[in-house]
Structure 1
Amino acid sequence: MTLPITAEGLPESPRAHSVGIGRAHAKVILLGEHAVVYGAPALALPVPQLTVTASAGWSSHGSGGQGGLSFTMTGSASRALVTQASDGLRRLTEEFVARMGVTGGRSLEVILDGAVPHGRGLGSSAAVSRAVVFALADLLGRELTESMAFELVQTAENVAHGRASGVDAMAVGAPGPLLFQAGRATEPAIGCDGLFIIADSGVPGSTKEAVAMLRAGFAQRAGAQDRFVGRASELTEAGRRALADGDPGELGSRLTDYHELLRAAGLSTERIDTLVEAALEAGSLGAKITGGGLGGCVIAQTRPEQAREVTRRLHEAGAVQTWVVPLKGLGNHAH
């Protein structure tokens, strides 16, 4: 992929580097997906063990009038990820260049190394976009505020997914859990420990397709949107209170209820439902599909002593890989 970007006459900055590095991580939605697009709240967690690193440098090939930005992809997930996100990255890069006032004709190369599976509801496209933005800013020695980073990542997300709520753009850079609503994020109170097990169904979903399908369904049934968003808001608020009050059983129940809401809307699949059922039968306090749906991942809330059995049962039920995200310690990881 070659994108138009130039850098001749770039003002020297004492903070500029010969190579710029940017990083981001995956995220998982606990409660609120889809409804968050309509202004409802959502609870999200960072997944710090799944990362994307972007390295940006000036190309030794082809400086000249055209300029360009080329991507090299390494790691297990990056090729499909960057292919899917290419239009959004093009828009993001153009916006970055315009904001930073970069002019001239040198070319850039970006190497992306990613471990966030594509199409699993884990924020892969947002993580790539954030990593690229911070790598370019680091290379040029420019300060990039969180609000500017958010706006740039949103530029790419709206291309990749249609109408993006912004929760992914925030969560892939968040050090800890966040409560997101209408473009604003706060840190929710955490009154309990616990583990969340993410299980990859092995089947990619499509957020864009799921969002469009849900919107079409709303258009066909009077009051359907209000009912869905209202119920989603109730469950997310109940989950937020349970998290703050240290009531893991209540939180788990709300996760399972939210799965039923998404399943009734046609956003689950037979394989996802099988994984949810396996997690619950193995003793999970709650389980649900996470992300856009029509494939992707399941998240199960589990007591630490149940984690081994839940993980085993999830793999038996068809999970191709699993990750454990402990509530305790989130917010202290390096990113």
Structure 2
Amino acid sequence: MNSAALAAAFAERFGTEPDGLWSAPGRVNVIGEHTDYNAGFVLPFAIKHSTTVAAAVRRDRTVRVSSTFAPDDEPVEADLDLLTEGGVHGWAAYPLGVLWAMEQSGHRCPGLDLLVDSNVPVGAGLSSSAALECAVAVAVTDLAQTGMSRRELAGIGQLAENRMVGAPTGIMDQSASLLGKPGHAVFLDCRSGEARLVPLDLEAAGLELLVIDTRVSHSHSTGGYAARRRSCELGAEQMGVPALRDLTVGDLGRAADVLEEETFRRVRHVVTENARVEAAVEVLTGSSPAALGPLLVASHASMRDDFEISCPELDTAVEAALAAGALGARMTGGGFGGSAIALARVSDVPAIRSAVEQAFASADFRAPGIFSVLPGAGAGRAG
């Protein structure tokens, strides 16, 4: 829905014009999976698929939240003075969680009417949840003039997702959504919160990054993701370090002696994935993005075999893309479904698309969604 249509829909829904529109993108993670909550490194970029929020300030402390995807549903309504941790369920927990988190952080929020529209595929591993959180966060910080920095807003989004939604995610998704820039990836140190932009000009290199949405939905608030996080925390504790970030590849020999087999494999994934992120940054700083290919392939193998978060659809997507000429491919996102990415020369994209579609049909999987993404701009005012 374009800006004018969203503003008109808001006026029809709430009987008043919005004070403005704010938008935040989803993200694709080039490399660095399940490293964020281990105080490690990640390398995502913002995409052009985004969530837009039309907002208007109210005179009371009521928040009403509605969506263009459910035009006949009554808005979800809440009193800011009565919001409690974990007290909101369903999709409205994300925007209301942002308001709760801001108030918990000492920033008083006004009552609001909010209408949400999005073209970020839900459940595809492209962080539709962070896009929603960040769109609301930038809207509120503008309307309430909180003066919060992008880094602070990323923390607000993470707090909302961790404690209102109950998903034990790290800070990567919000950081990518807020800090993204066209032609660049965001190299984020998840311990310090420091971020810097790294060149990722795919167009200039004659490359595309394909997203292959398996249509297998996943949820971070369910058991698999939380179980992996617990394994990582156990591994760090037994290795005597604050977080797995503090281990290097050279420590894996000792880890194999100290840890039971499954925990060791979880630890090995995180340690080697951190090393791959740093290698990817070095590649992008001094070479063509095409050189990322082998790192992507190694990342997928690690997530499939050591972290065990892939699924048959993701493996099929990666294998078919590589067989058809992709320079590299891997699953992206939290796992257990969602999307894979494939780095390809523009000339090879049609063959790769066809090969993946045929492989899914042969396996009797649901037809995948396949589209190209390029690094885009971070969250901001949209109207």
TM over 0.5, shorter chain = yes
The answer for the alignment partner of 2:277 in structure 1 is: 236
TM normalised by structure 1 equals 0.80
Q: Take 1:155 and 1:20, find their aligned partners in 2: how far apart are those partners?
A: 25
1:239 offset after TM fit, Å? 2.0
Aligned pairs for 1:229-308 within 5 A: 229-264=270-305, 265-308=307-350
Q: Take 1:26 and 1:310, find their aligned partners in 2: how far apart are those partners?
A: 24
Shifted more, 113-122 versus 237-246: the winner is: 237-246
1:101 partner letter: R
The answer for the alignment partner of 2:197 in structure 1 is: 187
Q: 1:68–1:108: 8 Å Cα contact kept in structure 2? A: yes
Which one of 171, 174, 177 corresponds to residue 169 of structure 1? Answer: 174
Aligned pairs for 1:16-31 within 5 A: 19-31=19-31
Q: Take 2:150 and 2:123, find their aligned partners in 1: how far apart are those partners?
A: 25
Which one of 352, 356, 380 corresponds to residue 310 of structure 1? Answer: 352
Deviations 1:89-131 (A, max 9, x none): 333212334634347xxx5210000111122211111110111
Q: 1:21–1:136: 8 Å Cα contact kept in structure 2? A: no
Q: 2:208–2:374: 8 Å Cα contact kept in structure 1? A: yes
Q: 1:22–1:138: 8 Å Cα contact kept in structure 2? A: no
Q: Take 1:40 and 1:332, find their aligned partners in 2: how far apart are those partners?
A: 22
TM-aligned CA distance change 1:223 to 1:202, over 3 Å:
closer
Shifted more, 26-35 versus 311-320: the winner is: 311-320
Deviations 1:154-195 (A, max 9, x none): 222223463322110110121231111222211124486221
Residue 115 of structure 2 corresponds to residue 111 of structure 1? yes
Residue 51 of structure 2 corresponds to residue 52 of structure 1? yes
Question: Which secondary structure state, in structure 2, belongs to the residue aligned with residue 207 of structure 1?
Answer: coil
Question: Which secondary structure state, in structure 1, belongs to the residue aligned with residue 198 of structure 2?
Answer: coil
Question: Which secondary structure state, in structure 1, belongs to the residue aligned with residue 56 of structure 2?
Answer: strand
TM-aligned CA distance change 1:26 to 1:161, over 3 Å:
farther
The answer for the alignment partner of 2:210 in structure 1 is: 197
Q: 2:199–2:284: 8 Å Cα contact kept in structure 1? A: yes
2:151 partner letter: S
The answer for the alignment partner of 2:372 in structure 1 is: 324
1:33 offset after TM fit, Å? 1.0
TM-aligned CA distance change 1:114 to 1:310, over 3 Å:
same
Residue 139 of structure 2 corresponds to residue 135 of structure 1? yes
1:286 offset after TM fit, Å? 0.6
1:150 offset after TM fit, Å? 1.7
CA RMSD of aligned residues (A): 2.9
1:314 partner letter: V
2:100 partner letter: E
Which one of 202, 205, 211 corresponds to residue 225 of structure 2? Answer: 211
Deviations 1:10-34 (A, max 9, x none): xxxxxxx951321101101111110
Q: 1:190–1:246: 8 Å Cα contact kept in structure 2? A: no
Over the matched positions of the two proteins, sequence identity in percent amounts to: 25
Q: Take 1:223 and 1:229, find their aligned partners in 2: how far apart are those partners?
A: 10
Q: Take 2:35 and 2:225, find their aligned partners in 1: how far apart are those partners?
A: 10
Shifted more, 117-126 versus 237-246: the winner is: 237-246
1:197 partner letter: L
TM-aligned CA distance change 1:46 to 1:18, over 3 Å:
closer
> How many residues were matched structurally?
304
1:52 offset after TM fit, Å? 0.5
Q: 1:57–1:108: 8 Å Cα contact kept in structure 2? A: yes
- Structure 2 segments unaligned to the other structure (5+ residues): 1-16, 74-87, 235-259, 361-366
Aligned pairs for 1:142-157 within 5 A: 142-157=146-161
1:250 partner letter: A
